Amino acid sequence: MTTGPSRHEPVLVEAVVEALRPCLDGLVVDGTAGLGGHTQALLDAGAARVIAIDLDPDAVRWLARRFQGDSRVQPVHASYADLPGLLGAKRPAGVLLDLGVSSRQLETADRGFSFRLEGPLDMRFDSTSGAPAARLVNRLPEADLAALLRKYGEERRARAVARRIVARRPLESTTELARVVAGAFPRRQRLHPATRTFQALRIATNEELEVLREGLAKAHRALREHGRLAVIAFHSLEDRVVKQTFRTWARNGDGEVLTRRPVRPGRSESRRNPRARSARLRVLAKAKGD
């Protein structure tokens, strides 16, 4: 579906624009363009050209409509890990990665990202390829499922959750899975008990951390000399990958980390946009071209 208003408020938008301001006269790649909130802000700040990439074909259709007739924007259905190949000879001055899931994806029940909305166990960013989350939920051996929940969800009750899931398989829907997971928790939790399980399944279904490691390296390779890479992470697993990768590059003389500490949203942004609360922006300037 490509109709309906965009309700996704881009996070840390001013900090992103400031980080990429020196790049706006060249090509900027918005590697996770989603509904185009950051792309729009970069254009408003004077960006000359933006390649707006997303892995979700629905998001790309949306971007094509939103920026129809604007010759500065080129929407592309791809993974940011397909850089630099998809750019040909072009070298971007800036690359932005705003990781995770968009509000629109979360709020579309049949994408299966939300444990609050009844939908299939899908969770793929690209619903045209790869296996849905149901494959992991219904086929993984119990020990492997527990390991996955521990590794990608940092779920302390991973064994109990995996045991309950396996005992009640096959599971068909998001809300059914959420109910089964909740049964593995003795008391009411502050966080919904299915939060960590859904995070883990989404990360594993899309191989998000592997794609992030590969995508960071590819983005760095694609950038022109002194080009900037800005990354917004939403949980500690992906932020750790960004932090360690940037540190390694800085140590090897391949770049300079411009954010000694990650940029976090202020109180008013967190209040206005709860999704922003866990956001952390890190920015690196590439040292030299290759």
Ligand X SMILES: C[S@@+](CC[C@H](N)C(=O)[O-])C[C@H]1O[C@@H](n2cnc3c(N)ncnc32)[C@H](O)[C@@H]1O
φ, ψ at 28 (rounded to 5°): -115, 135
Closest approach of ligand X to the CB of residue 272, in Å? 15
The three-state (H, E, C) secondary structure of the chain, written as one string: CCCCCCCCCCCCHHHHHHHHHHHCCCEEEECCCCCCHHHHHHHHCCCCEEEEEECCHHHHHHHHHHCCCCCCEEEEECCHHHCCHHHCCCCCCEEEEECCCCHHHHHCHHHCCCCCCCCECCCCCCCCCCCCHHHHHHHCCHHHHHHHHHHHHCCCCHHHHHHHHHHCCCCCEHHHHHHHHHCCCCCCCCCCCCHHHHHHHHHHHCCHHHHHHHHHHHHHHHCCCCCEEEEEECCHHHHHHHHHHHHHHHHCCCEEECCCCCECCCHHHHHHCHHHHHCEEEEEEECCCC
Query: What is the footprint of ligand X within residues 101-160 (CB under 6 A)?
Result: 102, 125
In this chain, which stretch among 35-43, 129-137, 181-189, 193-201 interacts with ligand X, using CB under 6 A? 35-43
| Assigned token pair, 54 | 């997303």
The smaller minimum CB distance to ligand X, of residues 11 and 181, is found at 11
- The verdict on 55 binding ligand X (CB under 6 A) reads yes
Closest approach of ligand X to the CB of residue 161, in Å? 25
- The verdict on 60 binding ligand X (CB under 6 A) reads no
Cα 169 from Cα 158, distance rounded (Å) = 16
In this chain, which stretch among 73-81, 173-181, 221-229, 256-264 interacts with ligand X, using CB under 6 A? 73-81
Cα 178 from Cα 244, distance rounded (Å) = 33
- The verdict on 199 binding ligand X (CB under 6 A) reads no
- The verdict on 38 binding ligand X (CB under 6 A) reads yes
- The verdict on 37 binding ligand X (CB under 6 A) reads yes
| One residue of 12, 17, 28, 34 binding ligand X per CB under 6 A | 34
In this chain, which stretch among 55-63, 143-151, 191-199, 264-272 interacts with ligand X, using CB under 6 A? 55-63
| One residue of 27, 29, 35, 43 binding ligand X per CB under 6 A | 35
| Assigned token pair, 15 | 């900090």
- The verdict on 84 binding ligand X (CB under 6 A) reads no
Closest approach of ligand X to the CB of residue 102, in Å? 4
- The verdict on 66 binding ligand X (CB under 6 A) reads no
Closest approach of ligand X to the CB of residue 61, in Å? 12
Q: From residue 205 to residue 244, what is the string marking binding to ligand X with x (rule CB under 6 A)?
A: ------x---------------------------------
- The verdict on 36 binding ligand X (CB under 6 A) reads yes
- The verdict on 269 binding ligand X (CB under 6 A) reads no
- The verdict on 79 binding ligand X (CB under 6 A) reads yes
| Assigned token pair, 12 | 């840390």
Contact set with ligand X (CB under 6 A): 8, 10, 31-38, 53-56, 59, 79-81, 98, 100, 102, 125, 211
